[in-house]
Structure 1
């Protein structure tokens, strides 16, 4: 079912992806972001007998308890292997 999603079909055609995480503020002096570029890989039951998928699913359920009711067992997870990371406005 996860492989029917448009974003998954796009990854199957072209695994080059970008992910941006921003911290928006009306005060532009407080804006910040992280941009991650890399190669996406589908992690599901079709890969490595589903072992990596089960680990990823368990981590998602642990971090986000609401996923217990939302995630279907065996759901497709997208893993990104970063090739470039850029940030702005962040302090260590």
Structure 2
């Protein structure tokens, strides 16, 4: 059954991982798992210190070329009466330096791992303009 915006926000905010979908000028879709925090109507995710081949991430280039993104959080269990998913559609921007402060604080509050090593890269902010969600309701 379709979820209300409030139900979508609540389920999304409580999720531990989501998947960020981007597409650059080439139109090719790309999907990556992300940690995130919901701050009002803004989803924040950061480039963190986990090992990566490069800091010039494709998702950052995609956002520069096409800021429209989607973020999906979901829950799966073998008991299908517990299934749900929430998608947030919006426009992304990339922030550096001090602009990241309140969003980094939200990420550190949500993920204990970030208390050890705080994200040191840019923060992607997604201003949500549409929530869509579904949950099993028997």
- Please classify the TM superposition score into its range, dividing by the shorter chain length: 0.7 to 0.9
Q: Following the alignment from structure 1 to structure 2, what is the Cα–Cα distance between the partners of residues 6 and 70?
A: 23
Could you tell me which residue of structure 1 aligns to residue 131 of structure 2? 85
Aligned-residue offset at 1:61 = 1.5
Indicate whether 1:32 and 2:79 are aligned: no
Structure 1 residues 62 and 14 mapped into 2: Cα distance closer, same or farther (>3 Å)?
same
Q: Is 1:33–1:90's contact at 8 Å kept on the other side of the alignment? A: no
Could you tell me which residue of structure 1 aligns to residue 59 of structure 2? 7
Q: Is 2:80–2:136's contact at 8 Å kept on the other side of the alignment? A: no
Q: Which segments of 5 or more consecutive residues in structure 1 lack a partner in the other structure? A: none
Could you tell me which residue of structure 2 aligns to residue 55 of structure 1? 102
Structure 1 residues 38 and 70 mapped into 2: Cα distance closer, same or farther (>3 Å)?
same
Per-residue Cα deviation, 1:32-80 (whole angstroms, up to 9, x for no partner): 01111110111212xxxx2x3011112212222211333344x211111
Q: Give TM-score scaled by structure 2 length.
A: 0.53
Aligned pair count? Answer: 84
Q: Is 2:75–2:83's contact at 8 Å kept on the other side of the alignment? A: yes
Structure 1 residue runs of 4 or more that deviate by more than 3 Å after TM superposition: none
Q: Give TM-score scaled by structure 1 length.
A: 0.76
